[in-house]
Amino acid sequence: MDLTFSEEQDELRKVVRSFLTRHATEADVRRLAADPSGYDPAVWQRMATEIGLQGLAVPEKYGGSGFGYVDLGVVFEETGRALLCAPYFASVALAAEILLRCDDETARGDLLPGIASGETVATLALTEENGRWDESGITLNAHDGAGGWRLTGVKTYVLDGHLADLLLVAARTPSGVSLFAVEAQAPGLVRTPLPTLDQTRKQARVEFTNTAARLLGPEGAAWPGLERTLATASVLLAAEQVGGAATALDAAVEHARIREQYGRPIGSFQGIKHKCADMLVEIESARSAAYGGLWALDTGDEAEIAISAALAQAFCSEAFTRVAGDNIQVHGGIGFTWEHPAHLYLKRAKSSEVLLGTPSYHRELLATRLGI
Partner 1 sequence: MELDFGPAVRDFRDELRDWLAEHLVGEFAEHRGVGGPTDGAAWEVRLAWDRELAAGNWLGVGWPREYGGRGLGLLEEIVFEYEYARANAPYRATGNALDLLGPMLLAMGSEAQKKRFLPPILSVEELWGQGFSEPGAGSDLASVRTRAERADGGMRAERDDGGTSFGGTSRPTGVESGGEWVVSGQKVWTSFGIHADWLYVLTRTDPDSRRHKGLTMLLVPADQPGVEIRPIRNLAGQDEFAEVFLSDARTDADMVVGEIGQGWRTAMATLGIERGTTLLPQQLTFEREAESLIGLARERGALDDPMLRRRIVDAWISVRIMRTTNLRTIAELTAGRTPGPQATTAKLYASTRHQQLGHLAMELAGPAGQIVGEDYGLDTRQRSFLLSLAETIYGGSSEIQRNIIGEQVLGLPKEPRP
Measured from the CB of residue 181, what is the shortest distance to partner 1 in angstroms?
Answer: 37
Q: Does 253 bind partner 1 (CB under 8 A)?
A: yes
Point out which span in 68-76, 105-113, 187-195, 271-279 binds partner 1 (CB under 8 A).
271-279
Residues 6+ apart with CB under 8 A from 216: 99, 102, 104, 107, 168, 178, 179, 180, 181, 222
Q: Does 288 bind partner 1 (CB under 8 A)?
A: yes
Q: How many C-beta atoms surround the C-beta of residue 12 within 10 A? A: 22
What is the chain's alpha carbon radius of gyration, rounded to the nearest angstrom?
21
Measured from the CB of residue 247, what is the shortest distance to partner 1 in angstroms?
Answer: 14
Measured from the CB of residue 4, what is the shortest distance to partner 1 in angstroms?
Answer: 4
Q: Does 273 bind partner 1 (CB under 8 A)?
A: yes
Q: Does 59 bind partner 1 (CB under 8 A)?
A: no
Measured from the CB of residue 316, what is the shortest distance to partner 1 in angstroms?
Answer: 10
Q: Say how far apart CA 77 and CA 56 lie, in whole Å.
A: 14
Hey, is 153 helix, strand or coil?
strand
**Which one of residues 26, 35, 278, 302 is an interface residue with partner 1 (CB under 8 A)?**
278
**Which one of residues 56, 82, 256, 305 is an interface residue with partner 1 (CB under 8 A)?**
256
Measured from the CB of residue 140, what is the shortest distance to partner 1 in angstroms?
Answer: 31
- Please count the residues of this chain forming the interface with partner 1, following the rule CB under 8 A: 39
**Positive or negative torsion for Cα 231, 352, 364, 138:** negative
Contact between residue 212 and residue 148 where contact means Cβ atoms under 8 Å apart: yes
**Which one of residues 201, 287, 347, 348 is an interface residue with partner 1 (CB under 8 A)?**
287
Strand residues in the chain grouped as ranges (E): 122-125, 141-145, 148-159, 166-173, 176-183, 189-194, 203-216, 260-261, 264-265
Task: Calculate the dihedral angle through the C-alpha atoms of 349, 354, 356, 361, rounding to the nearest 10 degrees.
Answer: 130
Point out which span in 61-69, 142-150, 174-182, 275-283 binds partner 1 (CB under 8 A).
275-283
- Residues from 315 through 354 that contact partner 1 (CB under 8 A): 315
- Residues from 3 through 22 that contact partner 1 (CB under 8 A): 3-4
**Which one of residues 130, 175, 261, 360 is an interface residue with partner 1 (CB under 8 A)?**
360
User: If we measure between CA atoms, which residue out of 187, 186, 216 comes closest to residue 111?
Assistant: 216
Q: Say how far apart CA 328 and CA 343 lie, in whole Å.
A: 7
Binding region for partner 1 (CB under 8 A): 1-4, 249, 253, 256-257, 264-265, 267-268, 270, 272-274, 276-278, 280-281, 284-285, 287-289, 291-292, 304, 308, 311, 314-315, 360, 363, 366-367, 370, 372
